[in-house]
Amino acid sequence: MLQSFVPFLDKERYLTVCFFEFFLNRRPKSTTASFSELQNKLEISSYKLREIISAAQNLCKLIPELKLEQSVDKKVTLTGLNTLKQKKIILYEAHHSLRFKIFIHITLRPKGYSDTEFQEKHGISRATYFRLKKLLLNDINTDIKNNMASSEAYSRYYIYNVIYYFSYLDFIDDSFGKKSIAASINYITILLKLSPTNSQRKQHLYFVAVCYWRSKIGYKMSDSDEKYFADFKKTSAIKKMNDYLNRAWASSEINAYRITNFVLTFLVTIEELNTDMLSNLQDYDLVDKLTHQQIALIHHSLGENFSQISLCSLTNKLLKINAKMLVPVYLYTSYNRMKDWNFYEDSYLSIACLAKQLLQCRTDFKSARPLGENENTQLYYSYLFTIFSEIPATAFSDQVRIAVDFSQGIEYSDYIKKKLEEMALLNIQIDSFVNPKTDIYLTNNFDPSFKNDQVVWDHPPLTRDMVNLRQLIVKVKNFKHKTITDN
């Protein structure tokens, strides 16, 4: 995900992030690396590496339990790093990067500084300011720049994504109009009967803050921006929202109308509007039609096991996903960089295949706009995770039956059975006794009479034993899936 936001980090600070990232993503896992390894990975000189190590050591002093040591044989050892600390490192470097500060200044001006005041505040010359500004703009993707130049709606959405990723609002004081923004969010939340989670509340704050700041410094959406908006019927709730923004934001009626539609479109995009509100979308019947096609497809796939589903909950989730097809232009979402589907196809083949069928159903739905590559990826994961959360694993016919019987005693066998619950998503069933339908027999003694797969553990299972068992379960599942589909 960071790769999309590299332009906003100063070069040296980005190298520091990469230094930590090297250890976090290293395979096989190791806390020690030689200078030469780091130089080759970061593509820097030995002098620059020493600077990066020094900067990294200073960062470690600010983050508890993170420790970096150098040895005389030109090796460094880093301990205590995890994904949370890596995110803290990214945020620290972003908020101390002049590039990021310049981006905030030129797009939002939350402090109201002029260029001269900004330069004085950060102790840089006019020449340095314009040089860094030019480098920043040069590094932003050309398509993004062109879209920002032609659309205020696109600009707001892109700025929102940048400041949300870097948690910008968590690091500034309350002098940016927070009360006005909070009041607007609270009004809209109550009016639209939203029930936001903690993450969604943060999304609301960042999105509305961008709209507020952009409006405050004079940027207005035009009729050309309306191509980004979903089209809603003018219900009483929407009219009230429009009137409120007209009053509270000292906006013209047309500007308030556009902000209203932009906020509603955003809520569709993050799948937050309840289905009662979604039904006010123009052409909502298309969403309903596609969803019912997908429900029929799921019914056909699961057969009699379809009865295990909570149909109302599944339908509502699919409606929220499919409603995004009525947003005229695809907007950035969180799965864009998750291109590799292999893990799910290898481990959960039946679920992955059903997700692909739902995706194909959407692709073939002629009334909807075509899908691009990024939206295709987004929808695949949306459907996949909906299946995981809404369809019990037992509804799929690739269930693997495991018998557990150890001579150490019933309490030990029960312990192993409890350990197997960690693999519940793999759709396993624990047999009370070994029988002809048992796929895997888990024991501490070899039984030559059992003809299917057998796993022998003569000691309490270690991590590698559980990994090997998982791989065997996946192998049996995939064989069952192939046998069923071939027939």
pLDDT digits (tens, 9 = 90+) for 37-57: 999 999 999 999 999 999 999
The pLDDT assigned to 62 comes to 93
The pLDDT tens digits of the residues spanning 352-384 come to 999 999 999 999 998 888 888 888 888 999 999
Tokens standing for residue 101: 């500060």
Helix (H) or strand (E) holding 315: helix 311-322
The answer, yes or no, to whether residue 226 has pLDDT greater than 70, is yes
Pairing of strands 440-443, 453-456: parallel
Q: Is it the case that residue 466 has pLDDT exceeding 90?
A: yes
- 262 against 3, higher pLDDT: 262
Q: Is 463 helix (H, G, I), strand (E, B) or coil?
A: helix
Q: In the sheet that 67-71 helps form, which strands lie side by side, from edge to edge?
A: 32-34, 75-79, 67-71
Residue 94: pLDDT over 80: yes
Longest dimension (CA), the chain: 85
Distance separating alpha carbons of residues 371 and 382, to the nearest angstrom: 14
Residue closest to 306 by CA, chosen among 228, 376, 397, 439: 397
Lowest mean pLDDT among 122-136, 312-326, 357-371: 357-371
Q: Which among 339, 311, 349, 342 is positioned nearest to 425, based on CA atoms?
A: 349
Closest CA to 257 of 299, 226, 285, 283: 226
284 vs 272: CA distance, rounded Å: 16
pLDDT, mean over the chain: 91
Predicted local distance difference test score (pLDDT) of residue 22: 93
Contact (CB, 8 A) for 52 and 15: yes
Q: Are 324 and 269 in contact (CB under 8 A)?
A: yes
Q: What is the pLDDT of residues 379-408, one digit of tens each?
A: 999 999 999 999 998 898 889 999 999 988
Note the Cα 434 to chain centre separation in Å: 43
Q: How confident is the model at residue 330 (pLDDT cuts 50, 70, 90)?
A: confident
Confidence of residue 483 (pLDDT cuts 50, 70, 90): confident
> What is the Rg, in whole angstroms, of the alpha carbon atoms belonging to the chain?
27
Q: What is the pLDDT of residue 487?
A: 66
Residue 175 confidence (pLDDT) above 70 = no
26 and 19 Cβ atoms separated by less than 8 Å = no
